[in-house]
Chains A and B, each alone.
Chain A
Amino acid sequence: MLQQAQTVTSQISGADIATAAKYLAAGICMGIGAIGPAIGEGLAAAHALDGMARQPEMEGALLRTMVLGQAITESTGIYSLVVAIVLLFVM
């Protein structure tokens, strides 16, 4: 049993560990990086809905500002996406 375990460990090379760490890092990067933008965009949508319910005639302006704000909020998520893509395809 111990011998078997030893042969298994000897088959795993440093490159394998690096590959595994790369995929793991990309997953963690995207997963944690998506939390912030998700909360931010949800808040923006919630407040825009509040405003629309209160003043339906402002819907057009609110929608435009909301989409713009969400797109800006999204940029931190996009940065983590870029980092994850770099980890997966470039490194």
Chain B
Amino acid sequence: MLEHLGQKLIAHVSIGSFSFSFDLITIIMTWVVIALLVALALFLRRSLRQDTQEKPNRVQAFLDILIDLLQKQLTSSFASERLARELFPFISALFLFVLCSNWLSIIPYMESPTKDLNVTISLALLVFVMSQVFAIRMKGGMRYLRGFVEPYAFMLPLNVVGELARPVSHAFRLFGNIFGGSILITVVSVKFAPVIVPAGLNIYYGLFSGGVQAFVFAILAVAYINVAVES
């Protein structure tokens, strides 16, 4: 098992003069996460009622509490009420996807898609594009461009690099945490302690650290969008 730690199942596809490489395991696991989320949504939707005359059943009450909690945690960190209303679905979808990806590794024969740098970089780029789009929309094109030469014109390269460094650190934080945890679990369970200990490590790195990192990822996305919109 240790020999396969750095190896991956790679598919090479070449279209014309371009050649692409795909990590098949990551793609499959990403689809597993998507399928899980969609199946859960379709299953839970059946027990939701629109009319409030009846007493809400258990599933609806639980979902109400969950959404309420997410909304309370996230809305307080947004800059404005309007931003919170517009971005809450995006941020909570991001949070649920990252959470499910991180928690997938505790199921045997499953791997976290977030273990792959490509997944976390694409998620971070998504947040980056969202923050730039919202900055242009909220501030207008001229004010957005002027933000780069403030406070002084010679600060322009610094501002651009600072803007570009955000998605990099955003992606590497999630990737490093999940990948480091998975390597530690594999090394310990293969080399030192094959029984009981890996279960505890999985609970810490899979459930606890995965949950915290998913929350941090969502909160940082909120913070980056806030900074881009405000400054």
> A-side interface residues toward B, CB under 8 Å?
64, 67-68, 71-72, 74-75, 78-79, 81-82, 85, 89-90
Q: Can you identify 24 A-B contacts, CB atoms within 8 angstroms?
A: A64-B73, A67-B212, A67-B215, A67-B216, A68-B216, A68-B220, A71-B173, A71-B213, A71-B216, A71-B220, A72-B173, A72-B216, A74-B177, A75-B169, A75-B172, A78-B173, A78-B176, A78-B177, A79-B172, A79-B176, A81-B176, A82-B175, A89-B5, A90-B6
Number of interface residues of B (CB under 8 A): 18
- CB-CB < 8 A to A81: which residues of B? 176, 180
- CB-CB < 8 A to B173: which residues of A? 71-72, 74-75, 78
User: CB-nearest residue of chain B relative to A30?
Assistant: B180
- CB-CB < 8 A to A67: which residues of B? 212, 215-216
Q: How far apart sit A82 and B95, CA to CA, in the bound complex (Å)?
A: 23
Q: How far apart sit A85 and B183, CA to CA, in the bound complex (Å)?
A: 9
Q: Which of B6, B179, B219 contacts A68 (CB 8 A)?
A: B219
Q: How far apart sit A77 and B73, CA to CA, in the bound complex (Å)?
A: 27
Q: How far apart sit A13 and B179, CA to CA, in the bound complex (Å)?
A: 32
Chain B positions 141-178 with a Cβ under 8 Å from a chain A Cβ: 169, 172-173, 175-177
Q: Which of B73, B180, B220 contacts A85 (CB 8 A)?
A: B180
- CB-CB < 8 A to A72: which residues of B? 173, 216, 220
Chain B positions 68-113 with a Cβ under 8 Å from a chain A Cβ: 73
- CB-CB < 8 A to A90: which residues of B? 6
User: CB-nearest residue of chain A relative to B117?
Assistant: A82
Asked if B172 contacts A82 (CB within 8 A), the reply is yes
Asked if B176 contacts A82 (CB within 8 A), the reply is yes
Q: How far apart sit A74 and B177, CA to CA, in the bound complex (Å)?
A: 9
B206-227 Cβ-contact flags toward A at 8 Å (1 or 0): 0000001101100110000000
User: CB-nearest residue of chain A relative to B216?
Assistant: A71
Q: Which 5 A-B pairs have the closest CB atoms?
A: A78-B176, A71-B216, A89-B6, A75-B173, A81-B180
